[in-house]
Amino acid sequence: MPELPEVETIRRQLAPHLHGRLLRALSVLDPRWCSPAPPAALADAVEGREVVGVHRRGKYLVLALEEEVALVMHLRMTGTLLLVAAAQDTSERPHVRVRMCLDGATSPGGKAGAGDRLLFCDPRRFGTGVVLLGDETLEDYFAARLGVEPLGPDFTADALRALARGRRAPVKAFLLSQERIAGVGNIYADEALWRARIHPLRAVGTLRPSQIAELRDAVVATLEAGIDARGATIDDFRHPDGARGSFQDRFLVHRREGEPCPRCATPIRKLRAAGRGTYVCERCQSRPRRRRAATGGAARAIKPPAAR
């Protein structure tokens, strides 16, 4: 499933090709993509407008059009955006759910016609699109769905500590909740927790300030490494030109069950956290101790700490 680095990779590749071009036609071939809005309403709102920006927020990709019209897309499980020449846009191409036709050259000095079609392809059909009118509507849309942007200036250790305070949720589930931190999914959560030496089942509210600071840095470093590798291609993720990401070759723990931990060589274990397959080194990331009954806790509290 595409996460922040995969969507950012798409954004970076599309932006120079789409900027300044006219979105001539939008054909939604599968109405589920924009349900409950009818496909014709989307076409009416966007057709004939120039692309003025290609943005990302969390895992959403935003095509900003003239007069504050925004086409907001989410790839979900298996969505991809392919930029192809009209001649390559044939009926044999599978899983095309939305077709966008563009006018004008693809980039300054680029050949006219080289990237005239932007196709939203999606075998499992969970991807979505919505048109929002006005920048305020766009802001409200994201404010209702997404928390802090982890690569933005607001994602500080203090901000993360405030988000975590008092929460009993396991830290992995916390990282995956888009309403708290936008864009982190299963891959990048596992990698960040390993870097920060934090067990995924640890209650996020019990992390020490130093651990919170390490987690913040680990999330940023992991996402940046993902972008640097142009995302991870495990199943369907492709760049707009059809190429694959390479971050899957750099995984430190994710999908490496039984292989040695890169830090201590302990075999990596797979367990379940937040309903997802989760990979840990239980030597580097020590498992949270079970809560004792009140008496047991009290008995432990009066024992002097072991000398080190």
> How does 192-223 read in b/e, with b if 16+ C-beta sit within 10 Å?
bbbbbbbbbbbbbeebeeebbbbbbebbeebb
By CB under 5 A, residue 306 contacts Zn ion: no
- Beta carbon nearer to Zn ion, 182 or 284: 284
76 binds Zn ion (CB under 5 A): no
| Smallest distance, Zn ion to C-beta of residue 264, A | 3
Per-residue binding letters, 203-242, with Zn ion (x by CB under 5 A): ----------------------------------------
Of residues 215, 261, 273, 280, which one binds Zn ion by CB under 5 A? 261
Q: Is 209 a catalytic residue?
A: no
Beta carbons of 264 and 281 less than 8 angstroms apart: yes
**Does 150 participate in catalysis according to the annotation?**
no
164 binds Zn ion (CB under 5 A): no
Q: 280: which residues sit within 8 A by CB, 6+ positions away?
A: 190, 193, 194, 199, 200, 253, 268, 269, 271
Task: Establish if 87 lies at the interface with Zn ion (CB under 5 A).
Answer: no
CB of 19 to Zn ion, least distance (A): 45
Is 276 labeled as catalytic in the residue annotation?
Answer: yes
Active site residue 59: yes
At residue 260, the 3 state secondary structure works out as strand
Q: Which residue from 16, 11, 60 is spatially nearest to 227, judged by alpha carbons?
A: 11
Interaction of residue 284 with Zn ion, rule CB under 5 A? yes
Pick the closer one to Zn ion by CB: 100 or 284: 284
> CB 184 → Zn ion: shortest distance, Å?
21
CB of 232 to Zn ion, least distance (A): 21
d(CA 252, CA 16): 32
User: Cβ contacts of residue 260 below 8 Å, gap of 6+?
Assistant: 266, 267, 268
Which is catalytic among the residues 59, 161, 195, 216? 59
Q: Which contiguous run of DSSP H or E holds residue 80?
A: strand 80-84
For Zn ion, which residue of 263, 269, 270, 276 counts as binding (CB under 5 A)?
Answer: 263
Question: Which of 195/238 has CB closer to Zn ion?
Answer: 195
Which of 159, 158, 202 has the alpha carbon at shortest distance from 182? 159
Position 264 contacts Zn ion (CB under 5 A): yes
Size of the site for Zn ion (CB under 5 A): 7
62 phi-psi bin (left φ>0, alpha ψ -120 to 50, beta other): beta
Per CB under 5 A, 197 contacts Zn ion: no
| Active-site residue (options: 167, 276, 282, 288) | 276
- Residue 258 near Zn ion by CB under 5 A: no
- The verdict on 19 binding Zn ion (CB under 5 A) reads no
- Stated as kind and residue range, the H or E segment containing 211 is helix 209-228
Distance CA 72, CA 42 (A): 11
DSSP 119: E
**Burial grade of 308 (CB within 10 A; 0-12, 13-18, 19 or more):** exposed
Which residues carry out catalysis? 2-3, 59, 276
- In the complex, which residues of this chain contact Zn ion (CB under 5 A)? 261, 263-264, 266, 281, 283-284
